[in-house]
């Protein structure tokens, strides 16, 4: 998909920011094009088509904007592990960059949007944007090669692991956005994990799915 104008233009950035926020807090399917345009302070209802080609092009641009840096970090973490990483170490290459997005509102929006696309997970290899998933694919290929189970069972476990990681981080993002963590902290409630403990626990759970 090519755009008639630079995706980094001020108007394009406003549309991206507005759509990202609305998609995360409502739904990708439920937000209308007009709502996005109005939230971006634009008058021309065709501005999305002009800048991104289509509504789907807008969604892909949102995913690429956040997903690209995440995938770079995945690759850097994998390269630092050397030739013989453990399953848990490979999983951490996926969990740590994903969980780091919880620290900013745009990052949390991205996480919440990705969680809504769970229907696409089964086809991620076929439909993924290689510019933002190259290292994801590399790491998942390694993960699939490690367990001594049938190919069909490996695929099911990898899919379950991805869904667990995505759903868990999306729920934590939602609770952060709604102020749940701050409220619990104010009430000295220790029932909510710290970020570091959360990351470790999610890594452990995802690893357990794969080696069960």
Domain boundaries, the chain: 66-211
**What confidence category does residue 37 fall into, taking pLDDT thresholds of 50, 70 and 90?**
very high
Residue 140 in this model has a pLDDT that exceeds 80: yes
> For 5, phi and psi rounded to 5 degrees?
-140, 170
pLDDT, residue 145, reads 87
pLDDT tens for 88-112 read 999 999 999 999 999 999 999 999 9
pLDDT, residue 179, reads 85
Query: 8-12, 107-111, 184-188: lowest mean pLDDT where?
Result: 184-188
Instruction: Establish how many alpha carbons lie within 13 A of residue 25's alpha carbon, considering only the half-sphere containing its beta carbon.
Output: 14
pLDDT, residue 148, reads 79
State the residue for tokens 């094009």: 33
Taking the C-alpha atoms of residue 54 and residue 192, their distance in angstroms, rounded to an integer, is 40
Q: Name the fold adopted by 66-211.
A: Tetracycline Repressor; domain 2 (1.10.357)
**In sequence order, what are the residues at sequence separation of 6 or more whose Cβ sits closer than 8 angstroms to the Cβ of residue 72?**
135
**What confidence category does residue 131 fall into, taking pLDDT thresholds of 50, 70 and 90?**
low
pLDDT, residue 164, reads 95
Residue 19 in this model has a pLDDT that exceeds 70: yes
Region 149-158: mean pLDDT is 88
Task: Please give the residue that has the higher pLDDT: either 191 or 134.
Answer: 134
**What confidence category does residue 190 fall into, taking pLDDT thresholds of 50, 70 and 90?**
low
pLDDT, residue 172, reads 95
Taking the C-alpha atoms of residue 184 and residue 16, their distance in angstroms, rounded to an integer, is 32
**What confidence category does residue 3 fall into, taking pLDDT thresholds of 50, 70 and 90?**
very low
């Amino acid at each position: 998909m090519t755009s008639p104008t630079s995706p980094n233009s001020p108007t394009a950035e406003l549309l991206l920011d507005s759509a990202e926020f609305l998609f995360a807090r409502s739904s990708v399917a439920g937000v209308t094009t007009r709502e996005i345009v109005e939230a971006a302070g634009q008058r021309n209802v065709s501005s999305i088509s002009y800048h991104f080609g289509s509504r789907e092009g807008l969604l892909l641009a949102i995913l690429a904007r956040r997903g690209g840096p995440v995938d770079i970090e995945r690759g850097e973490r994998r390269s630092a592990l050397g030739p013989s990483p453990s399953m848990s170490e490979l999983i951490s290459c996926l969990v740590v960059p994903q969980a780091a997005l919880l620290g900013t509102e745009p990052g949390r929006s991205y996480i919440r949007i990705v969680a809504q696309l769970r229907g696409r997970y089964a086809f991620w290899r076929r439909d993924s944007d290689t510019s933002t998933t190259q290292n994801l694919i590399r790491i998942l290929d390694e993960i699939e090669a490690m367990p001594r189970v049938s190919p069909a069972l490996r695929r099911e476990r990898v899919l379950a692991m991805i869904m667990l990681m995505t759903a868990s981080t999306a729920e934590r993002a939602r609770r952060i956005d709604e102020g749940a963590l701050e409220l619990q902290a104010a009430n000295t409630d220790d029932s909510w994990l710290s970020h570091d403990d959360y990351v470790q626990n999610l890594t452990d759970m995802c690893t357990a799915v794969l080696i069960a």
